[in-house]
Amino acid sequence: MVTIKDVAQAAGVAPSTVSYVLSGSRKISDATRAAVQAAVDELGYHPNAGARSLRSTRTGVLALALPLPARGYLPVGGRFMYGLSEAAGQLGYLVLLVTPPGEEDPDAGLERAARSRFADAAVIMGVQMEDPRIDAMRALDFPVALIGRPADESAAPWTDLDWDEAALVAVRALHEAGHKRVCYLATVEEDVRARRSYSVRGIRGAERAAAGLGTSVDVCHSTGDPAELFGRLDARLDSAEAPTAFAVQHPAAIPGILRHLAARGIEVPRDVSLVAVGSFPEDLGGLDVTRVELPVARMSAAVTRLAADAVEAAAPGTPAGGATPHTLIAPHLIRGATVAPAP
Amino acid sequence: MVTIKDVAQAAGVAPSTVSYVLSGSRKISDATRAAVQAAVDELGYHPNAGARSLRSTRTGVLALALPLPARGYLPVGGRFMYGLSEAAGQLGYLVLLVTPPGEEDPDAGLERAARSRFADAAVIMGVQMEDPRIDAMRALDFPVALIGRPADESAAPWTDLDWDEAALVAVRALHEAGHKRVCYLATVEEDVRARRSYSVRGIRGAERAAAGLGTSVDVCHSTGDPAELFGRLDARLDSAEAPTAFAVQHPAAIPGILRHLAARGIEVPRDVSLVAVGSFPEDLGGLDVTRVELPVARMSAAVTRLAADAVEAAAPGTPAGGATPHTLIAPHLIRGATVAPAP
DNA sequence: CTGAAAGCGCTTACAG
DNA sequence: CTGAAAGCGCTTACAG
């Protein structure tokens, strides 16, 4: 293994000088710098991560706390892992995955990562309105940034799509097309039950939209079981007051829903209109759905920035800065081919 | 921060004794062990990861080298990240994501992770038939395990679905249903061009199946652009020798393909049969496709095991063990509702 | 059965 | 502009 001593010897300087050249925290003569740089390149030197973090209390790693994938695979989780890894790389961080070890103690993995200093900060996914992980990390004085807007918005830095507004935008698009009876298909019920922020806010947005617009909005919870989901849709469609439009906050289910509707002889948008809430493009297989997309790349960049800032803010000697920052992203309706005037 | 000294003091023993209790590498009296354990629990002590790795040259981390997500998001990548994080946790490892920093140097991130000892071993995804990352890691004496079967099967430990066989099984199912003209829709062309192992082997399996069974198999490359893909399918369907069946090694595209066929008035399986090669259940939105699934959980467990074993094998004092191990998983056809006798 | 001591590879005040 | 030295928190031979 190549150490700083090897580089120092090769360059004819002291190890501390190599360190200063690499960190840039001291003025170094051009000759010395060039000699050190040459030795570094020559030997392929990379500072030992363990030694560096032991000494400097910086690891260059962000821990990503994943939600329990118990209810099956979450496409959105995978998408965020990519986005985060990329955004983090841009800021010089690596991303460490932290999965909950079991049902009974959902933040044991995260707590271990924090206490053992595997990372400088945690990025929390699948944020709940009242998320115990936030308090757990605060108790450890461990910096966090959230993908998701908690009930207490000053609890920690966060970024999110404005889900209340997204649901409103979707319902309004249907309302403006003349639909009087809209079914809001919310996230899977496990998410509703866990009070995930996007679930709660999406539903709330739909209810507010109903109240504000005078449209009848029937909120229905989705499920990962397609047969069960189609049963719920059928119950709605067979009722006396059948909806003429759906707003769907479960993008992974949309291809299946469209197939199911087609099998029932229902054509979209001729017979029924549909808007997706919080979809991402890769989901839809080229299907031109009217939608509000989840801005994964922007959210990944934002949360990485917030996490990096939280690391700086937690450093000793930093003044206890004012308000807790956040990045709220306004929804943007993309008009596709799945909304038509109400029959 | 709680250190081993704090624990030692609280328990009234020497720091080294605490270390031995935690590692279990020395006989300790019950009384001492209990006192140490109580102090550990009381103080919430977790050993500092940097210090531990500096001293022991073990990090407890596996680096996951992701393929470039340049052509858009790969659902399968996300699925493996979950699977790996879970399997690794079971063996006491955490997973660090390593994304290629840019096009020009696809293993710079991995090389840095290895040289800086951020991890004990690398798990490589999106393995190419001749993968430069394998040689790069070998040059550093850094243990690896592959998700994908390289051309040189003794280059490194690997696990994979038997893709040759999977394509054969799929084509044979269609052959047995009487289909004489099968179109094998291979992976996206970027994967073919990069000579990803699953691409090359899937195509090879299809070609062998054709030769062995006497079925005409037309190999066609998929693409992430749905419009372009549908164009390619149309060209086949409009030709004089139109296929009566498809074997599709691009599961994410299947919902779109089925919709496109339906729009052309082609009903599956009445008019055209279809088998998915390497799908995973979450992909299909409840669609009962005849398929060979990608065993993500088994592969994740296998590659983690291989990586952990490679770490042990690389430890000084370990005899240079014999053959390079691998875990080849036989394909298994799941009969769904998308294959019918040829018209 | 337990402890005192060396040292892993860095960074950063301290000194010149 | 550069160097010598201390020390981060552990693990593990060495000693008893």
Return the pLDDT at A288. 87
pLDDT above 70 covers a percentage of chain A that reads 95
pLDDT of A320 > 80? The answer is no
Q: Which residue type sits at B141?
A: D
Question: Highest-confidence range of A20-29, A183-192, B107-116, by mean pLDDT?
Answer: A183-192
Q: pLDDT tens, B299-335?
A: 999 999 999 999 999 887 777 777 899 999 999 999 9
Contact between B259 and A99 using a beta-carbon 8 Å cutoff? no
pLDDT of A261 > 70? The answer is yes
DSSP structural state of residue B126: S
CATH H-level superfamily of B61-161+297-329: Response regulator (3.40.50.2300)
Distance from CA of B259 to the nearest CA of A (A): 8
Q: Same CATH fold, A163-294 and A61-160+297-329?
A: yes
DSSP structural state of residue A340: -
pLDDT above 90 covers a percentage of chain B that reads 76
Range A292-303 average pLDDT: 96
Return the pLDDT at B71. 55
Return the pLDDT at A283. 58
**Fold of the CATH domain A61-160+297-329:** Rossmann fold (3.40.50)
Partner-chain residue, chosen from A50, A79, A89, that has the shortest CB–CB distance to B53: A50
DSSP 3-state of A156: coil
Task: Report the side by side order of strands in the sheet with A273-279.
Answer: A216-222, A181-188, A245-248, A273-279, A290-293, A333-334
Q: For all residues of chain A together, what is the average pLDDT?
A: 91
Could you tell me the pLDDT band of residue A141, with boundaries at 50, 70 and 90? very high
Return the pLDDT at B236. 94
pLDDT of A330 > 70? The answer is yes
Specify which residue's alpha carbon is closest to the C1' of nucleotide D2. Answer: A17
Contact between B259 and A258 using a beta-carbon 8 Å cutoff? yes
Exposure string over B174-187, b if 16+ CB within 10 A, otherwise e: bbebebebbbbbbb
For residues A158 and A146, the answer to whether their CB atoms sit within 8 Å is yes
Task: Report the side by side order of strands in the sheet with B326-329.
Answer: A326-329, A158-161, A144-147, A121-124, A61-65, A94-98, B94-98, B61-65, B121-124, B144-147, B158-161, B326-329
For residues B186 and B218, the answer to whether their CB atoms sit within 8 Å is no
Helix (H) or strand (E) segment spanning residue A295: none
pLDDT of B191 > 60? The answer is yes
What CATH code is assigned to B4-47? 1.10.260.40
Partner-chain residue, chosen from A47, A78, A116, that has the shortest CB–CB distance to B49: A116
Return the pLDDT at B105. 72
Q: pLDDT tens, B51-103?
A: 999 999 899 999 999 886 545 567 788 889 989 999 999 999 999 999 877 76
**Best B41, B73, B225 residue to mutate vs chain A (most A CBs within 10 Å):** B73
Contact between B115 and A44 using a beta-carbon 8 Å cutoff? yes
Contact between B86 and A99 using a beta-carbon 8 Å cutoff? yes
Q: B77 or B166: whose pLDDT is higher?
A: B166
Cα–Cα distance for residue pair A55/B135, rounded to 1 Å: 32
**A31 in contact with nucleic chain D (CB within 7 A):** yes
Q: pLDDT tens, B103-147?
A: 667 678 899 999 999 999 999 999 999 999 999 999 999 999 999
Q: What nucleotides of chain C have any atom within 7 angstroms of a protein Cβ? A: 1-5, 7-13
Cα–Cα distance for residue pair A138/A132, rounded to 1 Å: 10
Return the pLDDT at A65. 94
pLDDT of B169 > 70? The answer is yes
Contact between A98 and B96 using a beta-carbon 8 Å cutoff? no
Q: What nucleotides of chain D have any atom within 7 angstroms of a protein Cβ? A: 1-5, 7-13
Question: A73: which chain B residues are within 8 Å (Cβ-Cβ)?
Answer: 78-79, 82, 280, 282
Could you tell me the pLDDT band of residue A69, with boundaries at 50, 70 and 90? low
Domain borders along chain B are 4-47, 61-161+297-329, 163-294
Partner-chain residue, chosen from B44, B50, B286, that has the shortest CB–CB distance to A53: B50
Range A160-179 average pLDDT: 96
Range B283-309 average pLDDT: 89
Q: A6 or B316: whose pLDDT is higher?
A: A6
pLDDT of A70 > 70? The answer is no
Return the pLDDT at B287. 77
**Fold of the CATH domain B163-294:** Rossmann fold (3.40.50)
Q: For all residues of chain B together, what is the average pLDDT?
A: 91
pLDDT of A72 > 60? The answer is no
**A1 in contact with nucleic chain C (CB within 7 A):** yes
